[in-house]
Amino acid sequence: MAIAEENERNPKQARGRTKMDSEGSFWKFSLAFYADPAIAGICIDLQDRHWSDVNVVLFVLWCASRHRSLSPHELERVVASISGWQNDVVRPLRGVRRNLKQLAADLALASISELREAVKKQELEAEHLQQSLMEARFSDIGSPAPDRAAAARSNVERYATFVGQIFPAAHIAALVARLQAIRPD
């Protein structure tokens, strides 16, 4: 997720985001949740080694923050609604950005670094649009859950099962702890 790299480079700016700040509680939740560098690292690991979509991880945690537990069918609907966007837009932009990072380092050309920054902004905007779509379509999804931590654990584990993975227990514990540490909507 492009947010991680931007937060690492500009931690003060991460709090004073762009025009996207005022749009949607899911986006605001994601920025706050992801601001912790350890959490950003966990999310990137889940993305790169466990075939997960960070926006879906954040979405299931956002649902839990709002005391919502997702069923397997509900999770499948969410993923199906954004899979085309993720596969056709977000992932290709991420691939280009990552390739340009290495090229910029190898060739030491400012123009490549500038292009990479432009692609990173587009990737971030694509992720924001994905989150906007998810929130617009599924803001009330899930069943009431009295315990945010239990809902978070269940939602994350359900997503891991959906993508055919077993997420590291330490990752799940850290995600749940982070959820408990941030203020609910």
Is 16 inside a domain boundary? no
**% of the chain surpassing 90 pLDDT:** 78
State mean pLDDT over 44-57.
Answer: 97
Is 52 inside a domain boundary? yes
**Domain count along the chain:** 1
Is 20 inside a domain boundary? no
162 neighbors 53 (Cβ within 8 angstroms): no
Residue 86 binned pLDDT confidence (cut-offs 50, 70, 90): very high
pLDDT in tens, 105-115: 778 788 888 99
Is 66 inside a domain boundary? yes
Residue 3 binned pLDDT confidence (cut-offs 50, 70, 90): low
Q: 67: left (phi > 0), else alpha (psi -120 to 50), else beta?
A: left
Is 31 inside a domain boundary? yes
- Residue by residue, DSSP assigns 7-34 as HHH-HHHHHS--GGGGS-HHHHHHHHHH
Helix (H) or strand (E) holding 144: strand 143-144
Is 135 inside a domain boundary? yes
Is 15 inside a domain boundary? no
- Mean pLDDT of all residues belonging to the chain: 88
Is 18 inside a domain boundary? no
In which domain, by residue range, is 160 found? 2-9+25-181
Radius of gyration over alpha carbons of the chain, in Å? 16
